[in-house]
Amino acid sequence: MRVVQILPDFDGGELARSTLDLAQELMRRGHECIVISSGGELVPRLTMRGGRHFQLPVSKRSLLSLRVVGRLRRLLRDLDADVLHVSGAVPARLAWQAWRRMPAAARPRLVTSAHDESGNGFFTRAQVYGERVIAVSEWLAKSLHERNPRRLAGSPNVIWRGVNTREFDRSAVVSGQWQLRLLNEYPQLEGKNWLLIPAPLAPGNGQQVFLQLLSALGRERGDVFGLVVGDPPVGQEKFARKLEKLALDLGLEDKVLFLGARRDMRELYASSQITYHLAEQPGPHSARVSEALAMNCPVMCYSDDGAAETVQRCFSRGLVERGDFDGLVQKSLSILDRRGELNFAGLSVDETAAQVLQIYEELCQSPTA
């Protein structure tokens, strides 16, 4: 089967990484994979494993982007794919415009994936225009159906974003050299229980609540230490400084580290006692939550978040009602005292890719509309 995936860009973001993971898994199963995007740092990783990449400007949310529709239609005709799988609002609109003008007998079957709701505008609506629609959580599927009742006859197919368990391999021992380097750089971490919050340093991502939680936990036990991982997005440097000041005001100068962005997340997940996802507004999914769970690290998040579906399945003790700060403190203490079992079955990328492949096969075997 020849599969073409289109996404806005192929950088190191969650969508790009999940696209690469799916492509690699499909190629491992013997299928041919082609990616169309505006380019990015992951292109060499795709081509090195036998995939192909074509660069087109498919990322700008502007009506001027529609000028690429003709080029995209000609490229799709030449590629002669079996399936066209589109992710992201702008690519969805451009791909649908190109696809619908192709002869029905000559065009690929169209699958669209939605990864966020982001309104109901001209570009965003096209995320549900596929012959099959995939949502990354039940939370998002429900939202899409409520916003597009006339376009969607039923709920989208829900396939959680799988984790590359070759990269996040819980069975691989954390290197003693890695531990030694980290403790040499940060000796205050030795003998502590590490609590981790990985998220960009920007308003709404929960770092303020996390610092308040550290302060409360520190009054109960002296062995907790917070690790704040992430850089501030452009324009949020002032907010990052406010977080550092809040940590000082709470007396956390010897109980928290701001580590910036890291490339050793596998080791950090494996070495932490709890990972936190405390976004102020419910969202559809969190790759960081799934990665932590894949590495056998308990996760705590709010029960109304889309990520709660993954936590409920893998580690239900990690759910807490939004706004229940006392519950957050008490559940954290309970997990630190006795972690309990964690089950990650069914969420690796090879398992979720099998579900995507089943949709492709069913669609290719069904009559063309």
Does residue 264 lie in a domain region? yes
Amino acid at 155: S
Q: How far apart are CA 233 and CA 271, in angstroms?
A: 26
185 shares a domain with 306: yes
9 shares a domain with 96: yes
Does residue 211 lie in a domain region? yes
Does residue 254 lie in a domain region? yes
Domain that holds residue 308: 176-337
Task: Please give the pLDDT value at position 148.
Answer: 79
186 shares a domain with 98: no
333 shares a domain with 233: yes
151 shares a domain with 60: yes
39 phi and psi angles, rounded to 5 deg: 100, 175
Low-confidence ranges of the chain (pLDDT < 50): none
Task: Tally the domains of the chain.
Answer: 2
322 shares a domain with 241: yes
Task: Please give the pLDDT value at position 345.
Answer: 87
Does residue 298 lie in a domain region? yes
Amino acid at 180: L
Task: Please give the pLDDT value at position 117.
Answer: 64
Amino acid at 16: A
20 shares a domain with 78: yes
- Kindly report, residue by residue over 122-156, the tens digit of the pLDDT: 888 899 999 999 999 999 998 888 887 777 756 79
261 shares a domain with 113: no
Does residue 94 lie in a domain region? yes
Does residue 171 lie in a domain region? no
Torsion of the alpha carbons at 137, 142, 147 and 151, rounded to the nearest 10: 90
143 shares a domain with 272: no
Q: How far apart are CA 299 and CA 130, in angstroms?
A: 33
- Kindly report, residue by residue over 92-118, the tens digit of the pLDDT: 999 999 999 999 989 999 999 988 766
Does residue 253 lie in a domain region? yes
Cα–Cα distance list, 258 to 199, 253, 279 (Å): 11, 11, 18
CATH number, position 192? 3.40.50.2000
203 shares a domain with 108: no
Does residue 27 lie in a domain region? yes
Task: Please give the pLDDT value at position 119.
Answer: 62
Residue indicated by tokens 């860009």: 9
359 shares a domain with 303: no
86 shares a domain with 17: yes
CB contact at 8 A, 214 and 252: yes
pTM of the model: 0.91
